Amino acid sequence: MELSDRLKSLPPYHFAAYRRKLGELRAAGVDIIDLSMGDPDLPTPPEVVERLRVTAGEAVNQHYPEFGGMPALRTAFAAWFERRFGVALDHERELLPLLGSKEGVAHLPLAVLNPGDVALIPDPYYPAYPTAVALAGGTSRMLPVDAAHGWLPDLGAVPAEALKGARMLWLNYPNNPTGAAASHEFFEEAVRFARAHGLLLVHDMAYAEVTFDGYRPPSILEVDGAREVAIEFHSLSKAYNMAGFRVGMAVGNAGIVEGLARLKSNIDTGIFRPIQYAAITAIGLPESWLDERNAIYQGRRDRVLAACGRLGLAAESPRAGLYIWPRIPAGRTSAEFALELLDRAGLAVTPGTNFGAGGEGYLRISLTVPDARLDEALARLETVVAARA
């Protein structure tokens, strides 16, 4: 039997292939420090784990869950969203719990795109976006972004040809991989642009709660009229160190939320109820918990930036997210330099081109390893760069 042409046309998910290579090196005895993924090393809050443990032992929670989420979870999510962003949501029509935000990213194009429809995607990008579009039979059109423009797309410069057949525009701020932030004013422009061209705005906000220096990223739904054209994804993976729990939500346009819910009702049977109870506990934690956790990441951010500065690897200081996005030394491609770090120093980072052609000349360094290992990683990086000087 043959796989479908659609599946065969997809490249392997780059993290999956990279994890296999790292596993092979570790099996061979190589001490790898992995700065390639945004998988939080800090523990899930103990209150959350305890809520999961207790509710998992209750027989009523061991049956099929409600596919659209328990009412208690939906109302808790809506209350959290209003506290955080000042936006009141209809928890029945404008909010849908997800098996992690990536599940929503993957399924949304199936709900809204027809074969041949075009999705506009800023480049660099999270690789799941074009993959999801391709699986739905759509076509991705990349919009180059760069440091000079704050890694924001110049919406006024999108060519008319690119807008032919366009049905959606993907946005992701705080951004993965660049760490860039978007302002309320930019989101206002994006909403106007979407209205003018009949686009669905898809905003991936997975890094909303990992922030530094007092920064509070805005939701696109804070913009007047955004609910007419936008849907936004949120995740507890990074927000509350719950990557393995697989829980998030989609919020925004009621018609799109309903369509995504209809699709999901034919694909999955919802989130394990104990995980829903754990999520309710997480989003009810005090702000002080987030502040303390983010202070740890901010300290790591500052140490990585200081090391990059000493080594001549230009990098902007992100106000949110789990990554540093430095330029690499001249004379190597991103992939070549990343491989050199792995082979010579046992240091795993992600080449910028794993996030599209616009990532050439950059690396993505994750902040998700314990402090002592991060310091060792920076020492290894310095050894490799110094040897090339």
CATH code assigned at 138? 3.40.640.10
Bridge partners of 366?
A: 323
The Cα-based distances of 217 to 139, 207, 208, 321 in angstroms read 30, 9, 6, 10
pLDDT value at residue 118: 97
Same domain, 65 and 85: yes
Same domain, 268 and 308: no
Let me know how many helices (H) and strands (E) the chain has, helices first.
14, 12
Same domain, 135 and 273: yes
pLDDT value at residue 15: 61
pLDDT value at residue 331: 87
Same domain, 267 and 220: yes
Domain count, the chain: 2
pLDDT value at residue 387: 79
Same domain, 137 and 200: yes
What own/partner pairs with CB < 8 Å and gap ≥ 24 does 25-34 have?
Answer: 25/342, 25/346, 30/346, 31/346, 32/342, 32/346, 32/347, 32/348, 33/346, 33/347, 33/348, 33/369, 33/373, 33/376, 33/377, 33/380, 34/348, 34/366, 34/369
231, 263, 283 — which closes off a domain?
283
Same domain, 137 and 109: yes
Same domain, 383 and 266: no
The Cα-based distances of 204 to 151, 196, 296, 311 in angstroms read 15, 21, 24, 33
Q: What pairing do the DSSP bridges indicate for beta strands 248-252 and 230-235? A: antiparallel
pLDDT value at residue 361: 97
Nearest to 118 by CA among 98, 106, 136: 136
227, 261, 283 — which closes off a domain?
283
Give yes or no for a contact between 172 and 125, defined as CB atoms under 8 angstroms apart: yes
Q: What is the pLDDT along the chain (389 residues), one digit of tens a residue?
A: 888 888 877 766 666 666 777 788 888 888 999 999 899 999 999 999 999 999 999 999 999 999 899 999 999 999 999 999 999 999 999 999 999 999 999 999 999 999 999 999 999 999 999 999 999 999 999 999 999 999 999 999 999 999 999 999 999 999 999 999 999 999 999 999 999 999 999 999 999 999 999 999 999 999 999 999 999 999 999 999 999 999 999 999 999 999 999 999 999 989 999 999 999 999 999 999 999 999 999 999 999 999 999 999 999 999 999 999 999 988 889 989 998 999 899 999 999 999 999 999 999 999 999 999 999 999 999 999 987 76
CATH of the domain at 375: 3.90.1150.10
Q: What pairing do the DSSP bridges indicate for beta strands 200-204 and 230-235? A: parallel
DSSP codes, 335-376: HHHHHHHHHHH-EE-EEGGGG-GGGTTBEEEE--S-HHHHHH
Same domain, 20 and 95: no
73 membership: H or E segment, kind and range = helix 71-85
pLDDT value at residue 386: 85
Same domain, 245 and 345: no
Same domain, 40 and 74: no
Same domain, 62 and 32: no
What is the rounded distance in angstroms from the CA atom of residue 382 to the CA atom of residue 387? Answer: 8
pLDDT value at residue 63: 94
Which residues form the domain of 141?
47-283
Token look-up 């993976």 returns 237
251, 283, 315 — which closes off a domain?
283
Nearest to 69 by CA among 204, 264, 219, 252: 264
Same domain, 67 and 152: yes
What is the rounded distance in angstroms from the CA atom of residue 353 to the CA atom of residue 369? Answer: 23
Query: How many CB atoms sit inside 10 A of residue 244's CB?
Result: 11
